[in-house]
Amino acid sequence: MGSSSDQALSKFLSFALRHRPDAVGLVLDTGGWAEVDDVLRAARDRGYDVDRERLARLVRESDKQRFATDGDRIRANQGHSIDVDLGLAPLDPPGALYHGTARRVLNAILSGGLRRQSRHHVHLSADAATARAVGARHGHPVVLVVDAGRMATDGHVFFRSANGVWLTDHVPPQYLTTAERR
């Protein structure tokens, strides 16, 4: 993404648009959208030097594409811990998807599966490299391979967010294996 101040602003946006809009005086509609002017006001009230141009650049240039804009509205693409309807249609996944996590939680995941925890969905990556980078944020990374094709055949539903993250409600342990580091 750009500067560390962009990173701080992105973290603020994640907090405000994914988890606690009420804490910064925002109201999201049922689809998770907020008015850009309201978001700018909330950010400025908390000391961020931001205008429409900077916000648009941050959304456009973010390597993770966490946010989307639609006219005068902005929302997070996924990762919400609050109730929103992103309007995603079910989609057939590729045969394999990947999940990066920390080695310290591997045994718990292999026995209980991947759970959404406080979020709406389990987040999965289309490639092992992305999953490894995600896992590295939480400690020594390990990549899990999800047999998404078999899950879909068995009736599990998948979605893909606007930024390419695959989403599902739960990945039972029988669909998980560990990837060998290459």
Segment 103-112, tens digit of pLDDT:
999 999 999 9
Does 120 lie in the same domain as 161?
A: yes
CATH number of the domain that residue 12 is part of = 1.10.10.970
In a domain, 83, yes or no: no
- The two tokens of residue 37 are 């002017």
Gap between the Cα atoms of 74 and 72, Å rounded: 7
Q: Is residue 143, in this structure, part of any structural domain at all?
A: yes
pLDDT of residue 139: 84
Query: Quick check: is 171 in a domain?
Result: yes
Quick check: helix, strand or coil at residue 76?
Answer: strand
Tell me, yes or no, whether 171 and 120 share the same domain: yes
Asked if 101 and 167 sit in the same domain, the reply is yes
From first to last of its 182 residues, the chain has per-residue pLDDT tens of 445 588 899 999 999 999 999 999 999 998 899 999 999 999 999 999 999 999 999 999 877 788 999 999 999 988 788 888 888 889 999 999 999 999 999 999 999 999 987 677 898 999 999 999 988 888 889 999 999 999 999 999 999 988 888 999 999 999 999 975 43
Beta bridge partners of 156: none
Q: Give me the number of domains the chain comprises.
A: 2
Q: Which domain holds residue 38?
A: 4-76
Per DSSP (E only), the strands in the chain are 34-35, 67-70, 73-76, 97-102, 114-115, 122-124, 141-146, 159-160, 166-168, 170-171, 176-178
Query: For residues 65 and 91, is the Cβ–Cβ distance under 8 A?
Result: no
**Domain of 155: which CATH number?**
3.20.170.30
